[in-house]
Amino acid sequence: MSRFYPDAPRVGVSVLCHDDGRVLLIQRGKDPFKGFWSLPGGLVELGEPLLAAAKRELWEETGVEADLSEPVETFDSIQFDDNGKVLTHFILTVFCGALRSGKAVAGDDARALAWVRPEELDDRPTTPGTADRIRRHLPL
């Protein structure tokens, strides 16, 4: 099923990986929101549990592992075209965890990556809701 003009919502995961008060962001290399900064993540594969998908996507996009357990949030990401037709519809589940191992390097769909402090979020274009989501879930 296509990501654009889908027949049904697509299920995905995002990971808020943190270390020393910073969060790992990727710059998206593909649409939707190509060039915007976002939490690492992607689509769940058929038969894949959400947690396994979160760990896989984090590794594929950044080369790091994080201590992940239960989801912290689930939300809809729906975009409409100029005619009001659903362009994209994703149901995303967010996991949060501290960096466990690895050296962050942009991979897979990530154009670039950065470790960012919450006060630096307003200095870069992020996908809708990303900055607020980070501020809600990043441990103090």
Q: What is the CATH number of domain 10-137?
A: 3.90.79.10
For every residue of 79-92, DSSP letters joined together read EE-TTS-EEEEEEE
Would you list the domain boundaries of the chain?
10-137
Contact 1, 7 (CB under 8 A): yes
Residue type, 57: E
Rounded Cα distance between 95 and 108, Å, is 19
User: What 8-state DSSP symbol labels residue 100?
Assistant: E
Collapsed DSSP state (helix, strand, coil) of residue 3: coil
Q: Where are the alpha helices (DSSP H) in 38-110?
A: 50-62
pLDDT in tens, the chain (140 residues): 788 999 999 999 999 999 999 999 999 988 889 999 999 999 999 999 999 999 999 999 999 999 999 999 999 999 999 999 999 999 999 999 999 999 999 987 889 999 999 999 999 999 999 999 999 999 87
The predicted model scores a pTM of 0.94
Contact 46, 39 (CB under 8 A): no
